[in-house]
Amino acid sequence: MALTGVLRPGHVALRVLEMGPALKHYKDVLGLIETARDDKGRVFLKAWDEHDHHSVVLREADEAGMDYMGWKVASVATLKKLATDIEQSGLCTDLGWVPAGEHPTTGERFRFTIPTGHVMELFAEKGIVGNNCGTDGENINPNPWPDGLKGISPSRFDHCLLYGDDLDGTVKLFTEVLGFGVAEQVMAGEDKSFMIGAFLTCSNKAHDVAFIRQPVKGKFHHASFELGSWEKVLHAGDVLSRNHTSIDIGPTRHGITRGETIYFFDPSGNRNEVFSGGYIYYPDRPTITWWDVELGPAIFYHDRKLNEAFLSVFT
């Protein structure tokens, strides 16, 4: 197996102010599929082409934002090894194990807080529910997509963009301990040596998580979901307008990662993105560098400037 260690983003746990409107948004407008609720009132959802039990966890709370992001690793042995590596790196705080079953069908998770203040988890096991495409049994003679999809219906939870202060510490952790590559970076300062943005990948994707340096701890900019084409991004815009969803910007294109995108807000003010495109990343691909003076086109390639909300609106 060429892809080892951390495989991909496994879940994102979001706080919502009111569960009713949140579910209408995430199920009927975004088009995720509910797979479970637990006795704490949390709701577990997945995108249609994900085989694992859930990728989005919603919890009603007094404030919006992200509780944590979880990463699936290749095996239980990998989980143990990475937990030890993280501990020995000294880069993280609040390390601990969340027992198996705390998320439905999910094995034990190693939880830690990274230098930018975000809570992250690694896990190796989660129940497989499939993508409902098989015609003669699960994964046998499948159709390309299942019946009964709703709303925008992205294929998967793809990445998060997060805001925090100690970007250097977080990048060190992801690259030196967790084995991520830096696909793209944004550099500031006279000699362009001060990193203000990092787009990190553990896979063939242009990014699996991104961080932007801001003087805050543990803040959430957006959770993103994948669509197959630019036309589906336009269709997403139609679905959002039809449902009077608060749209931030787009459809447009990012310079960074080249993704075609639309940003919008859930009913608690948490930003979502659906996007398509990008490129294939291999570990030998040179890192792309953007200078801060070109941050406008780096983020929104057509407008060539940030919108007012990009730096100031987060949860």
Partner 1 sequence: MHFVVTIENTGETFRCGEEDNVLQAMEQLQRRGIPVGCRNGGCGVCKVQVSEGSYTKRKMSRAVISADEEASGCVLACKIYPQSDLRVEVVGKMARAIVAKKSMSFDFGFATATAINQPDEEK
Q: Which helix (H) or strand (E) holds 23?
A: helix 19-23
8 A C-beta contact, residue 305 and residue 296: yes
The distance of Cα 180 from the centroid of its chain, to the nearest Å, equals 15
Computed on alpha carbons and rounded to an integer, the radius of gyration of the chain in Å comes to 19
Minimum separation from the CB atom of position 159 to Fe ion (A): 6
Give the active site residues. Answer: 159, 207, 222, 254, 263, 273
8 A C-beta contact, residue 306 and residue 300: yes
Counting residues that bind Fe ion (by CB under 5 A) gives 2
Among 224, 245, 270, 276, binds Fe ion (CB under 5 A): 224
Residue 105 to residues 67, 132, 182, 216: CA-CA distances in angstroms? 19, 18, 32, 34
Q: Which stretch binds partner 1 (CB under 8 A): 93-101, 175-183, 227-235, 260-268?
A: 260-268
Minimum separation from the CB atom of position 300 to Fe ion (A): 12
Q: Is 301 in the site for partner 1 (CB under 8 A)?
A: no
Which residue, 21 or 96, is less far from partner 1 as judged by CB?
Answer: 21
Minimum separation from the CB atom of position 170 to partner 1 (A): 17
Give 210's contacts (C-beta < 8 A, 6+ positions apart): 159, 160, 161, 162, 197, 198, 199, 200
Question: Could you say which of partner 1, Fe ion, none residue 273 binds, taking C-beta under 5 to 8 angstroms by partner kind?
Answer: Fe ion
Q: Is 289 in the site for partner 1 (CB under 8 A)?
A: no
Q: Is 117 in the site for partner 1 (CB under 8 A)?
A: no
Question: What is the largest distance, in Å, between two alpha-carbon atoms of the chain?
Answer: 62
For binding to partner 1 (CB under 8 A), which residues are involved?
A: 17-18, 62-65, 163, 188, 196, 213-216, 219, 246, 248, 265-271, 292-293, 295-296, 304-309, 311-315
